[in-house]
Structure 1
Amino acid sequence: MRRVRQQPIPQFALYGESSLKQQPGLVHIEDIADRSREHDWLIKPHRHTRLFQILLLIKGKLQVQLDESSQELKGNWAVSIPPGCVHSFQFPADTQGIVLSAEASLFSLQTQQFQSLTALLTNPHTVNFEEQDVLFAQVQTYLALIRQELKQAYTGQEAMLSWLLATLLMSLWRQLQYTDTQMHSNPKSSQTFQHFRQLLEAHYREQWEVQTYADALHTSVSSLNRLCQEKAGSSVKGLLQERLLLEAKRRLIYTQESLERIADSLGFKDPAYFSRFFKKLAGLPPSDYRKAKYLEMGTSE
């Protein structure tokens, strides 16, 4: 019988590199082809510990995996990838587009001033643009200005990069708001749901009660449940469980942590209860899930 070898997901500064070659404010920008061509247009699953990335696809096609979600994108798209998100890309040859990588801490001031931007920095998003969209032109312009800024060691470069990154992030957020408004007529409920997702990302490891989330949002449990059903098709409890399950799967597949350590880090004081929780939602015990995924990924000997 073959013995399964645990193989954690690669963690890079930039794909295939252990550290950033460019250091001005920890910002890097390149064309999709610059890195993808040398890897036969396939960027395998990996993650970044500290980097936030934006990939802009221009009139192209892309197969993207963000954690356990896989999408095929065609046309003009932006993909935002927060730190820790496992992601991979498969492009047709000669795909046109840009990849921006920036130290996530560079956005701390902007998120303090405009907290709604936190949604882009904590959860992955795919943002669609029409060719004639003004915001699509703005995103391309800001990326071009960032590229130009990095070519020379201008005075005040770090401040300028921070401002350009802020305007880029705001343009993406506005496009998300626009598409959400097209689907839902109540912008206030959209803001409340975004705030809930931010709270969820910040506190899911503490396993807050549903009532605690409702209190933090100044609403009732029943109203919050209706909102989550409308926006995500699930109850508050269901979304909490989904987030815990996603993180558990990430750690089972991409780290060598013991079940006891994973359980404890996710707020489960009893590893046996964690195993029952996982089996109920995933359909098999965590140890079996880990082995099955290793075999599926070919990490065996």
Structure 2
Amino acid sequence: MPIVAPPSQLRLVAIPRLASGGRWRVEAMRSLSEPCLLWFTKGQGRITISGVTRGYTAHNAIFIPAGVMHGFEAGPQVFGTAVFFGREPKVVLPKTPQHLRIREVHAQQEVNVLLDSILRELESDTPAHDRATEAYVGLLGVWLERQVRKADPLEAPRQDATRRLVARYTALLERNFRTGMNVADFAAALGVTPTHLTRCCNAACGRPASALLQDRRIFEARKLLAETRIPVGRIAEQLGFNSPAYFTRAFQHVTGKSPTAFRRAG
């Protein structure tokens, strides 16, 4: 069960519950305003971070800094815990995304115990439970730092020119997806041709640059439709679509529903 807390505070959420409002909430490209740790204990799938797709399995720990675009498959057989650290975490965390395959049984048990302890203290009303929570979160940060330091360099994705370009594209996209910029605009800003950018995106994650852009914009549209009462036309304007009609066509192409029908179904 998720811990009920303001977005600025620490929360632990079972990974299956992240998709309880629709798998689009985890699978579509988006970013968070806080760092997140995904600890998978069962199942497998693919995760895309900064435009690079890799497979994940049980006993994978994936750290995603705030503001980094990502999305991952969350099928019915995937289990684990997501740790949301809040917008101003006190714990020391990595500055860059990390995908760690934790093979040592002792390390797997250690993080499971830490997560159980954090959850227990969050749910507790015993004296000093807040300080105990902070201490366990600090130990989680130490565990993560140690795993990063001893990770096999061969496990890390090679940061070749293709992946560096795609990472730059997704970072630029995350900052500007509301502006109405198209792939040609992003390519020009990056100093490459649209064809080259699309080729690199296909190589890094199996999707063209346009699909990443559309996925990010439609995720934001779905979120606004599901969580606010902002009129459809206003949402289209906020996300840089040329007209409400064009927004409706693009939304329906991705989701199979019109914006109005999607909001009504929610």
TM range, smaller chain: 0.5 to 0.7
Larger radius of gyration: 1
1:15 aligned onto 2:23? no
Aligned CA distance change for structure 1 residues 50 and 195 (closer, same or farther; 3 Å): closer
Opposite residue 131 of structure 1, the aligned amino acid is: R
**CA separation in 1, counterparts of 2:77 and 2:202?**
34
Calculate the TM-score normalised by the size of structure 2.
0.60
Q: How does 1:86-235 map to 2 (within 5 A)?
A: 100-106=83-89, 117=96, 127=99, 129-132=101-104, 140=111, 165=141, 168=144, 178-179=154-155, 181=157, 187-235=160-208
- Tell me the alpha carbon deviations over residues 114-150 of structure 1, each in whole angstroms, 9 at most, x when there is no partner: 6xx2x67xxxxxx46151499x67x949x69x97xx9
Q: CA deviation at 1:99?
A: 5.3
**Judging changes above 3 Å, is the alpha-carbon distance between structure 1 residues 179 and 214 closer, same or farther for their aligned structure 2 residues?**
farther
Q: Provide the identity percentage.
A: 20
Find the aligned partners of 1:17 and 1:201 in 2 and give their Cα distance: 28
* 2:58 equivalent to 1:75: yes
Give the residue type in structure 2 aligned to 1:43: R
Q: TM-score, normalised by structure 1?
A: 0.54
Distance 1:225 1:175 in 2: 31
User: In 2, are the aligned partners of 1:206 and 1:267 still within 8 Å (CA)?
Assistant: yes
Distance 1:228 1:267 in 2: 22
**8 Å Cα contact 2:100/2:147 also seen in 1:** no
Q: Contact 1:245/1:278 (CA < 8 Å) preserved in 2?
A: yes
CA distance in 1, matches of 2:165, 2:105: 26
Contact 1:43–1:89 (CA under 8 A) maintained in structure 2: no
Where structure 1 has 5 or more consecutive residues not aligned to the other structure, the ranges are 1-13, 67-71, 121-126, 295-301
Deviates more, 1:165-174 or 1:226-235: 165-174
Report the AA paired with residue 15 of structure 1. P
Alignment correspondent of 2:17: 43
Amino acid at match of 2:253: K
The alignment status of 1:287 with 2:260, answered yes or no, reads yes
- Residues 1:61 and 2:32 are matched in the alignment: no
1:183-242 Cα offsets, whole Å, 9 max, x none, are: xx6633222212211111111111223233224333333321210111122322232122
CA change 1:253–1:99 in 2 (3 A) is closer
Distance 1:205 1:167, change over 3 A: farther
Pick closer, same or farther for the CA change 1:42–1:227 going to 2, 3 Å.
closer
Could you say if the C-alpha distance between residues 128 and 170 of structure 1 is closer, same or farther in structure 2, counting changes exceeding 3 Å? closer
Distance 2:257 2:249 in 1: 9
Read off the aligned partner of 1:286 and give its amino acid letter. P
SS of corresponding position for 1:208: coil
SS at match of 2:216: helix
Contact 1:62 1:74 in 2 (8 A): yes
Match of 2:124 in 1: none
Contact 1:264 1:271 in 2 (8 A): yes
Report the Cα distance in structure 1 between the residues aligned to 2:164 and 2:85, rounded to whole angstroms: 26
Name the residue aligned to 1:247.
220
**CA distance in 2: counterparts of 1:218 and 1:224, whole angstroms:** 10
Partner SS for 1:100: strand
1: CA distance, partners of 2:198 / 2:204: 10
| Distance (Å, rounded) in 2 between the aligned partners of 1:83 and 1:229 | 25
Residues paired across the two proteins, number: 235
Q: Is the 8 A contact 2:169 2:186 kept in 1?
A: yes
Q: How has the CA–CA distance of structure 1 residues 49 and 218 changed in structure 2, closer, same or farther, with 3 Å as cutoff? A: closer
